[in-house]
Chains A and B, each alone.
Chain A
Amino acid sequence: MATQHSRSAARLMIAPAVILLLGWMLVPLTMTLYFSFKKYLPMRGGDLGWVGFDNYVRFVTSSAFWPSISATLIIVGGVLAITVVLGIFLALLLDQPMWGQGVVRIFVIAPFFVMPTVSALLWKNMFMDPVNGFFAHILTAFGFQPIEFLVQHSLASIVTIVSWQWLPFATLILLTAIQSLDQEQLEAAEMDGAGWFSRFGFIILPHLSRAITVVILIQTIFLLGIFAEIFVTTQGSFGTKTLTYLIYQRVLESQNVGLGSAGGVYAIILANIVAMFLMRIVGKNLDN
C-alpha cells in the first residue's frame, strides 16, 4: 500500500532517532572497550599503554569481586521475591470489591513516584536511624535495644528500601493482567466446585505467568543498576557494594579507568543476557 515516495519519507523521519541512538550506544561503548584493554590512570600518569586482558583478569580476581556479585544477587533476588509475592497478593486484593478502591490504589502506587534519593534518605534517617528513627523509638518504647539497621542488617535494609520503591510497579502490572482475566471462566470453575486454591493455582496464576515474567525481567534490568539508594545510605560499606557500585568506585573514586571499564564490560554482558529474554517476550507480542 505504501508508495515508494512515502517509504523514503518514512526513512527520513526515522533517521534522526536511529542516528542519535546509534551514536549514544556506539561511541561510549567503543571507548569503554578501548579503555578496558589499557592501563589508564587519569590522576597517576594517564595512559600507560596496552595491557591485553589484564584488567579483565584483575577485576574478577580482586577481593572485592565475589562479595559484589553476592551483594548484587541478594539485592536483586530479595527484591524480586518480595515484590512479586506481595505484588500478586496486592493485585488480587485490589481487584476485590471494596469501598475507596481508588484511594487505596493511590496509596499503594505512590512510592514508585518518590525519587530514589528521597526514598533512600527518608528510610535511612527517619525510619532506620538507631537514635532518632521511627523504628528505634518503637523498639525502645517496648523495652528493646535499638538496631543499627544499615550497619547490622545492611543488605536486608537496602532490600527493604528498594522493595518499597518497586512493589507499586509489580502490583500495577499484575493488577492490569488480573483485570484482563475472563470472569466467566472463574465463575464456571467455581460452579464446578473448584475451591479458592485450585482456582488460584490453575486459572489465575497461569494467566499471570506472562505478566510475572515481564515484571521479573524489567525489574532485574533496573535493579542491576541501582545506584542512588546505595550512594546516599551506606556508600557501599557494610557489604552493600554491588557490581554497579564497585565499578563506579573503580572508575570515579579511585580513577582506575582501565580496571573499571573491564568491570563495565562485564556489567554490559550481564545486562544483555537478561535483556535477551525480555526482548524475546516483547518481540513475540509485537507480532500479534
Chain B
Amino acid sequence: MARAVTTRRKTLNTLVAWTIGLLIFFPILWIFVLSFKSEGDAILPPLQVLAAPWSLDSYAVVQERSDYLGHFYNSVVLSLGSTVLGLIVAVPAAWAMAFVPGKRTKDVLMWMLSTKMLPAVGVLYPIYLLFIQFGLLDSRLGLTIVLMLINLPIIIWMLYTYFREIPGEILEAARMDGAGLREEILYVLTPMAVPGIASTLLLNVILAWNEAFWTLNLTAAKAAPLTAFIASYSSPEGLFYAKLSAASVMAIAPILIMGWFSQKQLVRGLTFGAVK
C-alpha cells in the first residue's frame, strides 16, 4: 500500500490529536482566561467564568502591588547574564575539543557532563554558607554565577555537537586558498558556528529562566526572579486567582514563545547528543 492516506483516516487523526493537544494545553489556556477576569468572577464555575466580562485590571494590579517589572528585570539579567557568561567560557572550550581533539577529549567531556548530575540539594548548605561569607545572598551576581555553573556542561555539550558537524575539509580548503588563522576563524568558521551558538543561547536562557531550586533558596526580595516571585503567591495570596493568573501569564509568555522556536535544540541540548 502506498502512503496514500485516506481522507477519513486523516480526519480521525486530526480530531484525536487536536482533542488531546487541547487537553494538555488547557491549564495554560485557562489561566490566560482567568487573568482577564475580575477577582470575584475568577472563582465562579467554569461556564460562568467564560460569561463574565473581560478586563485588563489584574495586569495593572500585579505591577502596582508586587513590582512585577522588578522581578522580570531580575529574570532577564539572571538568564541572559548566566548564558552569556557561560558562552564566553564554553565557546573556546567546545571549539578546542571539536577541532583539536586529543586523547582525553572524550573523558573531559564525560566528566563535565557528570558535574551536571550532582544533586543540588547535596551541596545546598555549602553554597548557602559561601554565599553568606561572600555577601552574595540575595544578589544578582551570586545567582548569575551559580546559574552559569549549573548550565555550563549543557552549553559546552551543545556547542560541541554543533561544532563537530562543521566539516574539517572546509578548513583545509580555506588554508589551501591562503587563508591565515584569522581569516579562517573570521570568514569560514564563525558564519558556520553562529546558528549553533544562537540555538545554545536560546535553550539556556529558557533553562535559566525556569530554574527553581537555587533561585528559591538563595534569594529573598532584592534579587528574586519571576520563579521566586510566583512562589510568593503560594499562600494565602494564591486565593487571588485573577492576579496569580495575570502574574503567571506574564512570567511564562516570553519563554513559551522562545520555547516554540527551540523544539529541536531542546532534544539536542537535553539528551547530550544521545538522540538525534
Chain A residues engaging chain B, CB cutoff 8 angstroms: 2, 6-7, 9-11, 13-14, 16-18, 20-21, 24-25, 27-29, 31-32, 35, 90, 93-94, 96-101, 103-119, 121-127, 131-132, 134, 137-138, 140-141, 164, 167-169, 172-173, 176-177, 180, 183, 187, 190-191, 210-211, 214, 218, 221, 224-225, 227-228, 231-233, 244, 247-248, 251-252, 257, 260-261, 264-265, 267-268, 270-272, 274-275, 278-279, 281-283, 285-287
Chain B residues engaging chain A, CB cutoff 8 angstroms: 1, 3, 5, 9-10, 13-14, 16-18, 20-22, 24-25, 27-28, 30-31, 34, 43, 45-46, 89-90, 92-93, 95-97, 99-100, 102, 106, 108-110, 112-115, 117-130, 149, 152-153, 156, 206, 209-210, 212-213, 216-217, 226-228, 230-231, 233-234, 238-239, 241, 244-245, 248, 251-252, 255-256, 258-260, 263, 266-267, 270-276
Q: Cβ of B114: which chain A residues have Cβ within 8 Å of it?
A: 275, 279
- Known contacts: A115-B210, A214-B275, A228-B231. The answer to whether A29 contacts B123 by CB under 8 A is yes
A172 touches B266 (CB 8 A): yes
**How far, in whole Å, are A24 and B148 apart by their CA atoms in the complex?**
11
- Known contacts: A17-B112, A113-B259, A283-B110. The answer to whether A244 contacts B210 by CB under 8 A is no
Q: Cβ of B46: which chain A residues have Cβ within 8 Å of it?
A: 134, 137-138
Chain A CB within 10 A, most for which of B24, B45, B244:
B24
Q: B22, B119, B128, B206: which contacts A224 (Cβ < 8 A)?
A: B119
Q: Cβ of A231: which chain B residues have Cβ within 8 Å of it?
A: 216, 231, 234
How near does chain A come to B86, taking the closest CB pair, in angstroms?
9
Q: Cβ of B3: which chain A residues have Cβ within 8 Å of it?
A: 183, 187
A104 touches B276 (CB 8 A): no
- Known contacts: A106-B260, A177-B275, A272-B117. The answer to whether A13 contacts B95 by CB under 8 A is yes
Q: Cβ of A9: which chain B residues have Cβ within 8 Å of it?
A: 96, 100
What are 15 A-B pairs with beta-carbon distances under 8 A? Answer: A13-B92, A14-B108, A17-B152, A20-B89, A28-B126, A98-B10, A108-B25, A113-B255, A115-B210, A121-B231, A121-B248, A132-B239, A228-B212, A271-B122, A279-B110
Q: Cβ of B120: which chain A residues have Cβ within 8 Å of it?
A: 225, 227
**How far, in whole Å, are A137 and B42 apart by their CA atoms in the complex?**
12
Q: Cβ of A107: which chain B residues have Cβ within 8 Å of it?
A: 21-22, 24-25
Would you call the interface of chain A mostly helix, strand, loop, or mixed?
helix
Q: B90, B106, B122, B270: which contacts A268 (Cβ < 8 A)?
A: B122
A-B contact count (CB 8 A): 309
Q: Cβ of A211: which chain B residues have Cβ within 8 Å of it?
A: 275
Q: A115, A126, A267, A283: which contacts B245 (Cβ < 8 A)?
A: A126
Q: B18, B212, B238, B263: which contacts A116 (Cβ < 8 A)?
A: B212
Q: Cβ of B13: which chain A residues have Cβ within 8 Å of it?
A: 93, 96-98
Find the B residue at minimum CB distance from A26.
B115
How near does chain A come to B80, taking the closest CB pair, in angstroms?
16
A121 touches B230 (CB 8 A): yes
**How far, in whole Å, are A155 and B20 apart by their CA atoms in the complex?**
24
A227 touches B117 (CB 8 A): no
B113 touches A100 (CB 8 A): no
Find the A residue at minimum CB distance from B168.
A1
Q: Cβ of A121: which chain B residues have Cβ within 8 Å of it?
A: 230-231, 233-234, 238, 244, 248
**How far, in whole Å, are A113 and B248 apart by their CA atoms in the complex?**
12
How near does chain B come to A103, taking the closest CB pair, in angstroms?
8
A97 touches B10 (CB 8 A): yes
- Known contacts: A20-B149, A176-B267, A272-B117. The answer to whether A125 contacts B244 by CB under 8 A is yes
Q: Cβ of B45: which chain A residues have Cβ within 8 Å of it?
A: 137, 140-141
